[in-house]
Structure 1
């Protein structure tokens, strides 16, 4: 089969790889019909994720058709159209029993915190991802779901991570009716978090970023107030001014340790913008909310060498809530929102490329060229 392969920082290419095979009776092999490039993939692309090995296939957002199933699989059969959450989970451990699928105890021997994630290095279990023509899906009776007949495939694709994670971020914010919510980051997850904040009763939604095309999307898609932090000497001071000098009720960090910047910045955080390896967005969130507020974190964080303002969070009485999204737990409600027209996930897609052009796709997305917000990868395109 053809599959994307990581060859080192800023180097990816499409190679011939062996077809995945059934390794456990509850495995399935999925023929991937659509995948996508996620903002968190850039952490691997830029060489910032530990133990990303040469030859690893990335991609944790994908849908497809069941190609083969193991002998114990009962819920799927060849030919079924399925959507696959980015979490790999067993469904029966202490954490899965509590709906914490992203913290499954049985799928990642390399970490005590994160569970398994498709295509996200050996730190997250070493599972090959979906930027390929075929992918092995473990625990096939637990993770994948049939795509409803009424659901568009591109909408289903985005529900495998971006929509679910944005919705989860708003959920973690414990939004009360009328709350002012500020979202840091207008990438796909930030945009869906802003949309979801309205669904949960927000009275005002503010989005902060520095890319004008993404801020325009936040205005048209999420009906949010937007501010470009490059236009202000101190975005925190501005956010306080526009909230009666109290601050927002809820802040959502949809940036994380932004997958950008250079090694000096990672070590020193010398460049006080949203750069890699530093918690700038999180510190802005801590500084810009009112006392007693809630901060939700779903941006991807790895090793950091610079300080989070934990003392300030303590003294302000803030509640910090965070986790990787347990995707499948969000699906029943999200299916309702999509079916009723409250969410149209596919409106965020700006680029569609065949798998063979994925190196160019990563370059465009990484460099924020051509107004790129979300890229769909088509593994079987001519």
Structure 2
């Protein structure tokens, strides 16, 4: 009996290897699958035949542009299923559907009313999940699982928020609320970790095994990939970049420390500080006294990109502090790449060159190439896309056949 169970687990693992290879390369022959996965050809053929019968995989037309004898190519069936990504953030909810080939087929975003209790936010998130499921059903693509990500310290085993300073949450069991509503595999993860996964599988860090990702926003998050795997730390709280102290005499942070990075360049802080600067500013400005009170982060970005002097200085401040942190992370981890995300593409286009200048100035002057600093491929959507991508990893574990077959 044990031998049978072990064989079944090995076959699950090998099936997952084949599916992952096809997600990465889109189309492969049986021989190419064997070479890519390291499995022998008979094992590949047996598993492929099973997956074709399950409609998980399809054979396509003969290859015509490849070296060697022509043969049928294999590809995943995008309509076999999809995963749902849900991002719960401080002031918005986001949702996405990722089909079986990792293609985004639907996305939505909705603002959150300030001051909602954790229970109310969760109920809004569940309603948004139901909307995503309805969208999947409309497209006749069955949902396979749900990934929920939040800007918080996450106990992934319990699916609970241990501490979310910007959310104002502590010891909230998120998983149980979703499990009570949906009969699907569900996971709960930190948003920046999810963003790193999105970049690794689908974005600018494809085929990059060692990189660091920093996400901006109300809070500042981080995700670290080491040898292609998330570095979680002892309790799962690694890469909390936003809580690196950059000003020991600075503001009190919601985490309990003082002078954390996000108390200096978090979106909320930048908005409050910019309003104060504009009120005392003597230079010409597009903002009236009345409009200053309703100023938001997007307004500051647009004004800064349009060369408003106060707002542009604020954007440069963000770039400066990110550049300092990037130089420190480069010295600590020696990564192949550092990715900056969480901001809009237009802001990233401004920030990245500024960050590179600061990081280079404050990095060790060795013969090595300068740090490879890149913008996130997905911008503000990296976390929610990563939430959906992580579900496929979850389904590839020993429970693979229970939810995929």
Question: Normalising by the residue count of structure 1, what TM-score does the alignment of the two structures yield?
Answer: 0.35
Which one has a larger percent helix, Structure 1 or Structure 2? 2
Question: Normalising by the residue count of structure 2, what TM-score does the alignment of the two structures yield?
Answer: 0.33
